[in-house]
Amino acid sequence: MTSDVVTNHAVHSASDATGIQGFTVTSLSQANAITLEKEIDWFTRVLDLRIRLYFEQGADLDHIYQIPPPTLSENDSVYAQVVCQYQLNFDERIVLVMALLPHIRPQILDTFFIQNSHFDRGYTEFGGIQGKSHSGFLPTCETAAFVLAGDELSRRFAIMPMFETQHIFARAGILSLEHHNEGEPFFSSVLALSGEYLNKFTTGITEKLDYSSRFPAKLITTALGWQDLVLAPEVMEEIDKIRTWIRSSEQILNKWQLEKTLKPGYRALFYGPPGTGKTLTATLLGDELGLDVYRIDLSSMISKYIGETEKNLAGLFDQAQNKNWILFFDEADSLFGARSGGSSANDRHANQQVAYLLQRIEDFPGVVILATNLRASIDDAFSRRFQSLIYFPLPDAEQRLELWQKILNGHYAREEANELQQLAEEYELAGGAIINVVRYAAISALQVGSDTMRCRDLRAGIARELRKEGKTI
């Protein structure tokens, strides 16, 4: 059962339990709140026992594992469904609720602000940090180790796999570790709950990620369909290869048992003149196959400071690692350019960025599409690792006529149909340029009170487009 299925199941279950047709945010949040109240109560009792045992204050129980976690097998909340889906054990549930507490019940963690009277400061073994604006306690791996292991070294070692990249927390994108300073102990990393799962565990609904300093990418959509796109047959044939892989990769990798030799991701390069349909093609692929398409803002990724670009890229790929996304790098030559043979610090820095990017793209299990107007500027090392290199040529006269007719959508003088054929034959324009021409002609028509576009306005628009390229009509 995927996380999406879990969410959908919880949506329907929560709504059915409250007698609501469909579902509401309120019904979902109520189901989660009921579950989390029990989970928080359990965590609080575990924490209290750990404090008592550690400071030898006297307790009725000998070990925290004598406090059983709540039973969630028949619970309808999203939180419960995720816990059951991934079969999270005692330790994992403690870590999960601990990462959630700063967002929903931060005062529970105030216990860790106890001062060590011998040194007039907090206890090192409690770990944790205080945020810049959040006055509460932000738990770290050290905090989790204290609650689960106390001062037992063997137990401390036993919980370490929870914080590694192969654990379900990282693989499913539930938790990540935020390392604040180089050279500090690994367990000083803050436990960060992903925004996606924070939404699932509270309102029950996951909103689409949008552009931010932590996520320099924009969700792109379109109201158009494949019928609105005019591409050469050989281009569509290549696009169909990508479509088939996305639909059937599980069969190829698992049922055919080719996962040992084939990596799960797919990498494609779209190249050709501007306005020939590269971005629209990527968007339509996502729309057809139910994948979110995110266009990466390369200007926010690239930094002149050594290591910053790699850090930005790592953050992007980490967030996308377990998502059903297409990552679309437009004007990719600015970041994926050919490596130089120079020996200056700048050259080495640029080559390091390309090498790191190459490694992350090759290991990414999803779909990556690069688009560029300049095929020759893309580093050959990337090209060798692409499954598809697809050239988007300028449309021929027949395709241009089809584009004119589709974009004009009947709002042109019918008696000038022959002139439309003539425009298609005379001027080699890409679809993007034709759209600009039609926009200009539509404005011109409205200015004279007409609801049809005349050929003279189209020609005037063409002249404007050609002037952008230093040409004349």
459 versus 7: the higher-pLDDT residue is 459
* Residue burial 412-436, b: 16+ Cβ < 10 Å; e: rest: bbeebeebbbebbeebebbbbbbeb
User: What pLDDT band is residue 119 in, cutting at 50, 70 and 90?
Assistant: confident
Strand ranges inside 146-248, DSSP E: 175-178, 190-193, 217-219
The pair of three-digit structure tokens given for residue 10, joined into one six-digit string: 């919880």
Which CATH number applies to 397-468? 1.10.8.60
Q: What pLDDT, in 10s, does the model give residues 195-217?
A: 889 988 998 876 666 656 667 88
CA dist., res. 301 & res. 165, Å (int): 23
Q: Are 370 and 382 in contact (CB under 8 A)?
A: yes
Cβ contacts of residue 463 below 8 Å, gap of 6+? 472, 473
Phi, psi (deg, nearest 5) at residue 215: -140, 85
3-state secondary structure of 191: strand
Instruction: State the pairing for strand pair 129-130/121-122.
Output: unpaired
Residue 406 one-letter amino acid:
K
The answer on pLDDT for 1 being more than 70 is no
The answer on pLDDT for 4 being more than 60 is no
The answer on pLDDT for 5 being more than 60 is no
442 versus 12: the higher-pLDDT residue is 442
Neighbours of 230 (CB within 10 A): 21
Q: Are 341 and 300 in contact (CB under 8 A)?
A: no
User: What pLDDT band is residue 104 in, cutting at 50, 70 and 90?
Assistant: very high
Q: Where are the domains positioned within the chain? A: 3-201, 217-391, 397-468
User: What pLDDT band is residue 154 in, cutting at 50, 70 and 90?
Assistant: very high
> Three-state SS string across 280-347, please?
HHHHHHHHHHCCEEEEECHHHHCCCCCCHHHHHHHHHHHHHCCCCEEEEECCCHHHHECCCCCCCHHH
The pair of three-digit structure tokens given for residue 112, joined into one six-digit string: 């860790």
3-state secondary structure of 257: coil
Q: Residue 328's beta-bridge partner residues?
A: 295, 369
The answer on pLDDT for 342 being more than 80 is no
At 29 the pLDDT is 84
pTM: 0.70
- Sign of the alpha-carbon torsion through 371, 248, 360, 164: positive
User: What pLDDT band is residue 320 in, cutting at 50, 70 and 90?
Assistant: confident
Q: Are 272 and 392 in contact (CB under 8 A)?
A: yes
Q: Are 187 and 140 in contact (CB under 8 A)?
A: yes
3-state secondary structure of 188: helix
Q: Residue 391's beta-bridge partner residues?
A: 271
What average pLDDT does the chain have?
A: 85
User: What pLDDT band is residue 363 in, cutting at 50, 70 and 90?
Assistant: confident
At 15 the pLDDT is 35
Average pLDDT over residues 116-129: 88
The answer on pLDDT for 395 being more than 90 is yes
Burial of 305 (0-12, 13-18, 19+ CB in 10 A): exposed
DSSP state of 255: I
Average pLDDT over residues 161-178: 90
At 8 the pLDDT is 35
Average pLDDT over residues 262-270: 90
Of 160-164, 237-241, 339-343, 395-399, which range is least confident?
Answer: 339-343
Cα(first)–Cα(last) distance of the chain, in Å?
60
The answer on pLDDT for 360 being more than 60 is yes
Q: Which residue has the tokens 């990769």?
A: 249
CA dist., res. 438 & res. 464, Å (int): 12
Of 48-57, 149-158, 222-231, 251-260, which range is least confident?
Answer: 251-260
CA dist., res. 331 & res. 422, Å (int): 33
The answer on pLDDT for 176 being more than 80 is yes
User: What pLDDT band is residue 71 in, cutting at 50, 70 and 90?
Assistant: very high
3-state secondary structure of 14: helix
At 196 the pLDDT is 83
Average pLDDT over residues 235-262: 91
Average pLDDT over residues 191-195: 90
At 100 the pLDDT is 97
Burial of 384 (0-12, 13-18, 19+ CB in 10 A): exposed
3-state secondary structure of 218: strand
Q: Residue 174's beta-bridge partner residues?
A: none
CA dist., res. 181 & res. 177, Å (int): 12
Q: What pLDDT, in 10s, does the model give residues 429-446?
A: 999 999 999 999 999 999
Instruction: Give the CATH H-level superfamily of domain 217-391.
Output: P-loop containing nucleotide triphosphate hydrolases (3.40.50.300)
Residue 462 one-letter amino acid:
I
At 12 the pLDDT is 35
Give me the DSSP letters along 123-169. -GGG--EE-SS--SEE-BHHHHHHHHHTT-HHHHHHHGGGGSTTSHH
At 308 the pLDDT is 73
Instruction: State the pairing for strand pair 292-296/217-219.
Output: antiparallel
* Residue burial 321-339, b: 16+ Cβ < 10 Å; e: rest: bbbbbbbbbbbbbebbbbb
> Three-state SS string across 45-65, please?
HHHHHHHHHHCCCCCCCCCHH
78 versus 209: the higher-pLDDT residue is 78
32 versus 14: the higher-pLDDT residue is 32
Q: Residue 138's beta-bridge partner residues?
A: 129
At 106 the pLDDT is 95
CA dist., res. 269 & res. 432, Å (int): 19
The answer on pLDDT for 61 being more than 60 is yes
